[in-house]
Amino acid sequence: MIFEVSHKTVYHYTAPVAQAHHLVHLAPRPHPRQRVVRHTLLVEPVPASRSDFTDYFGNPASTLSIESNHTELLIHSRCVVDVVAPKPIDVKASEPWDRVAASLAPARKSYDIEVAQYLMPSHHTTITPRLIAFAEPFFPPGRPILECARDLTNAIYTGFAYDNAATDIATTIEEVLSIRRGVCQDFAHLLIGAMRAYGLPARYVSGYLLTYPAPGKEKLVGADASHAWVSVWAPQIGWVDFDPTNNLIPRDEHITIAYGRDFQDVSPVTGVLLGGGKHKIDVAVDVTPALTAAR
């Protein structure tokens, strides 16, 4: 599938901002199943300086420095991407989780840092006794690692309600386990935390998902949203995506922006401001199929 994506963010400030510095993760990440056809980033007011670079995790990113007074900031990312579905995966054919965990134990000297860096607890994936207890039934000895991940994905989907008013960026995994509600970001953190609690690599994936309107309804402009899911690593297979919000293994309708340990590594826009007072944010996202690529 080829998609056109528009992600428009507007910050409204109650007082002038004299100076602002922002880190932006809005450019799609190229990978073996995703080709970036083009990407543009419009910023108003025009930054005094802009630097495009690749961050520690290999994601495209930009820093923006705005030095003119402003009470409104527009950041509009537009891209065209070509996404290919992965080959079908037999989750039962993956290696036993306990063998994978043993191979990545700190005492071993041969593990790959590109994998091992996604083993460690992070800001939003703190490992607690309650998290370990939640995950324990899914990790009997000898069970294939991807089967563990698939059944955890299903358990989060069936056991937790999607509620965009229940949590915010500061909500912890412990709180999500208590209220059994949340959004894609929370469910991704929960799955990541559960895998890492048993010594298994899992990374946060930010991006977009093609959505469909209700039967008989037109798709509303700007009504899409950013999305988050998880990649789990299995030897001989590599990274495999799981979407606990929708209980599926993503195919060609998930568009990847960035990988990180958790949301904090790949937040779409972060920044430091001088001035500004209080602020309000308006976000409008559109994901539109451009055409179905012939393969």
- The structural domains of the chain, with segments of one domain joined by +, span 2-84+267-291, 91-250
Which pLDDT does position 260 carry in this prediction?
97
Which pLDDT does position 252 carry in this prediction?
94
Three-state secondary structure of 61-91: EEEEEECCCEEEEEEEEEEEEEECCCCCCCH
Which pLDDT does position 112 carry in this prediction?
81
Which pLDDT does position 295 carry in this prediction?
39
Coil, strand or helix at 258: strand
In this structure, whether the domain defined by 91-250 belongs to CATH 3.10.620.30 is answered with yes
Dihedral (CA of 164, 165, 169, 175) sign: negative
In this structure, whether the domain defined by 2-84+267-291 belongs to CATH 2.40.30.10 is answered with no
Q: How far is CA 246 from CA 30, 81, 160, 227, in A?
A: 24, 22, 11, 11
Question: What does the pLDDT profile of the chain (295 residues) look like in tens digits?
Answer: 999 999 999 999 999 999 999 999 999 999 999 999 999 999 999 999 999 999 999 999 999 999 999 999 999 999 999 999 999 999 999 999 999 999 888 756 566 888 989 998 899 999 999 999 999 999 999 999 999 999 999 999 999 999 999 999 899 999 999 999 999 999 999 999 999 999 999 999 999 999 887 777 766 565 688 999 999 999 989 999 999 999 999 999 999 999 999 999 999 999 999 998 999 999 999 999 986 443 3
Strand 181-182 versus strand 161-162 pairing type:
parallel
HSE-up of 162 (CA within 13 Å, CB side)? 10
